C-alpha cells in the first residue's frame, strides 16, 4: 500500500522566476548576488524578469553562488515524462 501521492503541479515557473525564488530564499538582494558573482545587478534583474536569457555560463556562476545545481535554474519546469 502506497502512503504517498505525487504532488500536483500548481503553476509554471520561468527561468527568471527560479533565479529570483532561490535568491530570495537565501535572503540575498540582487546587489548582494551581483557582488558574489561578478554579474552586474542590472543583468540579474533582466534575467529575473525574463528579458535576457540566462545562458549556461551565467547559470553555472549563479548556481555556485546560490548553492544549487545549474539545472535547477535552467530547467525549472522540466518534466521527464513530457521530454521523453
In a domain, 73, yes or no: yes
- Report the 10 Å Cβ neighbour count for 66: 21
Task: Enter the pTM of the model.
Answer: 0.79
Contact 36, 28 (CB under 8 A): yes
Query: pLDDT for 12-43, tens place per residue?
Result: 889 999 999 999 999 999 999 999 999 999 99
Q: Residue 9: its pLDDT value, please? A: 66
Q: How confident is the model at residue 79 (pLDDT cuts 50, 70, 90)?
A: low
The residue among 48, 39, 45, 51 whose CA lies nearest residue 73 is 48
If one counts the domains in the chain, the total is 1
Count CA within 13 A, CB hemisphere, residue 40: 3
Residue 6: predicted pLDDT: 73
Can you give the CATH number for the domain in which 43 is found? 1.10.260.40
Does residue 83 belong to any structural domain of this protein?
Answer: no
47-64 pLDDT, tens digit per residue, is 999 999 999 999 999 999
Whether residue 82 is contained in a domain is answered as no
Q: Which domain holds residue 36?
A: 15-77
Amino acid at each position: 500500500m502506497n502512503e504517498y501521492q505525487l504532488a500536483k503541479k500548481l503553476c509554471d515557473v520561468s527561468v527568471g522566476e527560479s533565479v529570483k525564488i532561490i535568491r530570495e530564499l537565501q535572503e540575498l538582494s540582487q546587489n548582494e548576488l551581483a557582488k558574489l558573482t561578478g554579474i552586474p545587478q542590472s543583468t540579474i534583474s533582466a534575467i529575473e524578469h525574463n528579458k535576457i536569457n540566462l545562458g549556461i555560463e551565467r547559470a553555472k556562476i549563479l548556481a555556485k553562488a546560490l548553492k544549487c545545481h545549474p539545472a535547477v535554474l535552467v530547467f525549472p519546469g522540466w518534466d521527464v515524462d513530457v521530454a521523453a
